[in-house]
Structure 1
Amino acid sequence: MLDMDFQVWSEFFKQNWLVIVGALVVLFLVVNFVKTVIKWVLVLAIVASVIIYSGISLKDIGNAVTTVTDQAVSISKSEALKMMKNEAKDAKLTQNSDGSYTITTPNLEVTGETGSDKVQVTFRGVSLGEWSMNDTLQAFITEAKRNSP
């Protein structure tokens, strides 16, 4: 969550740096040259304008970052499924003492429990989360069992 917030803010500053610099210059001028209550009214108006403007932009940027993240995960899942088919011959299954198993290939790691419909998939060191069992996963597990002593 914090990483996405940083991405959103970073993208916002990249796209709106000129507006932010302009607002800071105007604030500097107002604070230095206006010496009355009007100064603080102008400061509050400028800050409110930037906050309102950024709120709309941050929401849009946040949605864009979420969409790109979802697309990247989807692409990674399809690549992982292709990799399962290609690397099934190299898959090695390790049975753990707690009843779970781990299947490893050069690019994949699949962890699950015997009899469970769910497995954890890691592709090139990046967790792709928990997946439900499907035909490709089942074939991958079967091949890994054949390859293991």
Structure 2
Amino acid sequence: MDTQVWLEFLKQNWLVIAIALIVLIIVINLVKTVIKWALVILIIGGLLIYSGISLDQISEVVTTVTNETVDTVKTEAMNMMMKEAKEAKYTSNGDGTFTVKAPNLELKGSSGSKEVEVSFRGVSVGKWDINETIQEFIGQAKKN
């Protein structure tokens, strides 16, 4: 959710919001039953509907931001792999698994697997399919 959108909405609808807040204060102070909370929910719901924001739109924004963040982290990690390949150390764990450590990256996987678990700057960024860049990184680490 862009703050600029909210500011523009507030500028355009400040009178409606002010009236709704006054009605809310009156309802909360005067009505002392369950009806009070039903009226509060109706007023807030009315404002949300009036603003034109739906739960689908909120969900879509959250999904978009999440996907962009994951893509950015993956791109940064891949770039880091290329830069730190000469410093990477390959360690065979003896049970068919391996670990590749570089200053900012750590890969854990098993021999013959098509996936590795990637940690970037100490934070797990999930399991990734082994692509050409990751294969080269592991190969360079074995040479080191």
CA 1:43–1:70: 2 relative to 1, 3 Å: closer
Out of 110, 120, 125, the residue aligned to residue 128 of structure 1 is 125
Unaligned stretches of 5+ residues in structure 2: none
Which one-letter code corresponds to 1:128 in the other structure? V
Could you list the structure 1 runs, at least 4 aligned residues long, displaced by more than 6 angstroms after superposition: 38-41
Distance 1:96 1:106 in 2: 19
Structure 1 unmatched ranges of 5 or more: 1-7
Number of equivalenced pairs: 135
Cα deviations across residues 74-119 of structure 1 (Å, max 9, x unaligned)? 1211221111111110000111133211101011111100111111
1:62: how far off? 2.9
Structure 1 residues 54, 125: closer, same or farther in 2, change over 3 A?
A: farther
**Aligned equivalents of 1:41 and 1:132: distance in 2?**
51
Equivalent position of 1:87 in the other structure: 84
Letter of the structure 2 residue corresponding to residue 79 of structure 1: E
| Change over 3 Å in CA distance of 1:53–1:91 after alignment to 2 | farther
> What SS class does the counterpart of residue 56 from structure 1 fall into?
coil
RMSD of the TM alignment (CA)? 3.6
The answer for the alignment partner of 2:62 in structure 1 is 65
The equivalent residue for 2:112 is: 115
Q: TM-score, normalised by structure 2?
A: 0.72
The answer to whether residue 91 in structure 2 is matched with residue 97 in structure 1 is no
Alignment of 1:1-149 (within 5 A): 15=6, 22=18, 23-33=20-30, 42-43=39-40, 45-50=42-47, 52=49, 56-147=53-144
TM-score (norm 1): 0.70
Q: How high is the sequence identity, in percent, across the aligned residues?
A: 52
